[in-house]
Chains A and B, each alone.
Chain A
Amino acid sequence: MIKYIIRRLLEAIPTVLGVTILSFVLIHIVPGSPVRILLGSHYTPYRAQLLSQSLGLNKPLGVQYFVWLGNLLHGNFGFSYTYNQPVVYLMLQALPHTIIIVVVAVLLAHLFAVFLGSVQAYFEDTKFDRIVTVVNYFFYSMPTFWLAVLLIIFFAIDLPWFPAGGIVNTQLTTPTFVDWARHLVLPIAALFLVSVAGWARYMRASMREALLQDYVRTARMKGASEFRVIFVHALRNSILPLVTLFGLSLPSLLAGALFVEEVFNYPGMGLLYWDAVNARDFPVILGVTVFIGLVTVLGNLIADILYGMIDPRIQYA
């Protein structure tokens, strides 16, 4: 097992390196030099030359890449053009905000999707199953940003239960936990609703297959209650694909977070990236892209390893 984890970790290294190369190349296809952007109206050829020398931009691209990579390994993601702060600092500020909404939404969505999909599979082709399937389809196809806008209209404007955006009520003199939590409800709800639908669909299919297996019949024959049959015997097997699905859905989750953060003006990584794109703040764009690539690769790795831990049938050579 340990050997397998180490091997998978080693295998992930080229992918991570590839992500850094890709991001670096993407940034360098941008027409116009960063020097021009940095200098703005102070641009003169002489100053440009001085600046590109001090930034190391006159070196060959390959050399620049390795210098940049070396800095990355030391945790130095560069300096933001617009905020005049280290990129790492900006990311560390934004990251906890994104983590909290994504993690809470994913956990809740998984729990609910597992429950919903299982019940749907058990009551397959009943009116209940059909209605839930249609509702799922609706949310599955719903653009995240529209859903977020609708949530604001319904639960922040028509029914003013929750704030429409941000993370603190600026009218409060001291920030309170309740106020903070109230700001999290709608962003989490948006991410939750778009994730549940897709996962419940998989769970339904997976549970349907499991319920046809011989061991389920055996469990029933020896007198296990229906609840026990579904949620103990069948669940254990049918939940496996969802673990892999979690790893695979990380990119779309992060993309969803970007839209949710933009709509709710929620200061996470997505909003940081969006602001950076609009301001052409390339060090931030580069930093966030590399970071997100890293998270995705790690997420898939963890999902793979978890899958192996849960499923004893998988043997590691």
Chain B
Amino acid sequence: MIQESQLPRAGVVENLVDGRPGFNRRFWRSGMTMLGLVMLLFLVLFSFVGPLFYPLSATATNLLATDASPSAQFPLGTDSVGHNVLAQLMVGGQSSLEVGFAAAAVAMLFGTLYGLISGVAPAFVDSIMMRIVDILLSIPSIFILLFLNVVFTPSVGIMVLVLASTSWLGVSRIVRGETMSIKGQVYVEAARATGTGVWRIMLRYLLPNFIGTVLVAGTFQVADAILAMAGLSFLGLGLPPPTPNWGGMLSDGMNYMFQNSWWLIYPPGLCILIAEVSINLIGDGLRSAIETRER
């Protein structure tokens, strides 16, 4: 989560645009960031390239090999209906990553636009728009998400929209705050005086100043979306079967907790954890790289 104190200040707008070398050095040379990138790369390869090397079906059931512990045939065992856990993890990763990134992208686009409009709009429109955000933020998103997933039978597209429907809020707040703090700058007034259109001012004069902050927020949104999707699936309201999902696999595995079927519980949990840690590391790396640039 981005805190107010981590946002760039209005007075430093001028030196934002030409700081590239500093940013690159900061970002790429941080060990923790690299670790995050390597972990994420591993997950991407595992989910999307892995099935090419391990082309066994994730959805085929095998009633002759149910609850099998890991063996040469099934490296991570099978579940109660004989699903191949390793194959399921790979395919489950695909939907998690796709939905996570897509939801964050939608949330970022919408949140940025909303925040920009709210920031430049007349005061009363702004206060109504921000009040709406306050209201939506008052209800913990998982409560809204659970409900929406009952109403709309989830498909990948709907899942993306449902997750984005709550995660754009934070972005819009940040963008609105940024917009407010720089819209009074002289160069913006100059642009306005020369007859520049309001859209052009928003997108060319205001947005570039805090695009980095938006990207940082967006990175954390990816982590949040993946976690939220896993959580929904864990509660039985994710993508419908047979699409495997890490959260759903974990909740199935929970039924076999007492049988010591560790391969049903640790691998999906670890996958979620790796996704969360890697994306959070990248987000932190981005943030500190951008922050330093602004000091």
Q: Is A15 an interface residue (CB 8 A)?
A: yes
**Chain A residues with a Cβ under 8 A of chain B:** 14-15, 18-19, 22-23, 26, 29-31, 137-138, 140-146, 149-150, 152-153, 157, 164, 241, 251-252, 254-255, 258-259, 262-263, 273-274, 277-278, 280, 285, 288-289, 292-293, 296-297
For chain B, which range describes its interface: under 10, 10 to 19, 20 to 34, or 35 or more residues? Answer: 35 or more
A125 to B: closest C-beta gap in Å = 14
User: Given A18-B132, A146-B269, A152-B257, A277–B146 Cβ distance below 8 Å?
Assistant: yes
* B236 adjacent to A278 (CB under 8 Å): yes
Q: Is B143 an interface residue (CB 8 A)?
A: yes
A259 to B: closest C-beta gap in Å = 6
Q: Which residues of A contact B250 (CB under 8 A)?
A: 145-146, 149
* A157 adjacent to B134 (CB under 8 Å): no
Which residues 100-144 of B sit at the A interface, judged by CB distance below 8 A? Answer: 131-132, 134-144
Q: Which residues of A contact B257 (CB under 8 A)?
A: 149, 152-153, 157, 164
* A15 adjacent to B151 (CB under 8 Å): no
User: Given A137-B277, A141-B273, A19–B231 Cβ distance below 8 Å?
Assistant: no
B37 to A: closest C-beta gap in Å = 15
Contacts A143-B227, A293-B135, A296-B137 supplied; 14 other A-B pairs, CB < 8 Å = A14-B131, A18-B131, A22-B139, A26-B144, A137-B281, A141-B276, A145-B234, A150-B269, A258-B140, A258-B142, A274-B146, A274-B235, A289-B143, A292-B143
Q: Which residues of A contact B280 (CB under 8 A)?
A: 137, 140-141
Q: Is B160 an interface residue (CB 8 A)?
A: no
User: Given A30-B151, A137-B280, A146-B272, A15–B134 Cβ distance below 8 Å?
Assistant: yes
* B140 adjacent to A143 (CB under 8 Å): no
Q: Is B54 an interface residue (CB 8 A)?
A: no
* B265 adjacent to A149 (CB under 8 Å): yes
A208 to B: closest C-beta gap in Å = 13
User: Given A18-B132, A278-B236, A280-B150, A293–B139 Cβ distance below 8 Å?
Assistant: yes
User: Given A29-B151, A149-B254, A141–B277 Cβ distance below 8 Å?
Assistant: yes
A241 to B: closest C-beta gap in Å = 8
Partner of B273, one of A146, A263, A278, A280: A146
Main SS at interface, chain A: helix
* A273 adjacent to B143 (CB under 8 Å): yes
* A255 adjacent to B142 (CB under 8 Å): yes
A-B contact pairs, 30 of them (CB 8 A): A15-B135, A15-B138, A18-B134, A19-B139, A22-B136, A26-B148, A30-B151, A31-B151, A138-B277, A141-B223, A141-B273, A141-B277, A145-B231, A146-B269, A146-B272, A149-B254, A149-B265, A149-B269, A153-B257, A153-B265, A157-B258, A164-B257, A251-B140, A258-B140, A259-B231, A259-B235, A262-B235, A273-B143, A277-B150, A280-B150
B238 to A: closest C-beta gap in Å = 12
* B273 adjacent to A296 (CB under 8 Å): no
Q: Which residues of A contact B254 (CB under 8 A)?
A: 149, 263
Task: Give the number of residue pairs across the A-B interface with Cβ within 8 Å.
Answer: 118
How far apart are the CA atoms of A280 and B149 in the complex, in Å? 11
Chain B residue with Cβ nearest A206: B5
How far apart are the CA atoms of A140 and B240 in the complex, in Å? 29
Q: Which residues of A contact B138 (CB under 8 A)?
A: 15, 18-19, 251, 293, 296-297
* B235 adjacent to A26 (CB under 8 Å): no
* B147 adjacent to A285 (CB under 8 Å): yes
Q: Is B76 an interface residue (CB 8 A)?
A: no
Q: Which residues of B contact A277 (CB under 8 A)?
A: 146-147, 150, 237
Q: Is B290 an interface residue (CB 8 A)?
A: no
Q: Which residues of B contact A19 (CB under 8 A)?
A: 135, 138-139
B129 to A: closest C-beta gap in Å = 12
A140 to B: closest C-beta gap in Å = 7
* B139 adjacent to A142 (CB under 8 Å): no
Chain B residue with Cβ nearest A23: B139
Q: Which residues of A contact B247 (CB under 8 A)?
A: 143, 145
A278 to B: closest C-beta gap in Å = 7
Q: Is B230 an interface residue (CB 8 A)?
A: yes
Q: Which residues of A contact B251 (CB under 8 A)?
A: 145
* B143 adjacent to A255 (CB under 8 Å): yes
B203 to A: closest C-beta gap in Å = 30
Q: Which residues of A contact B136 (CB under 8 A)?
A: 22
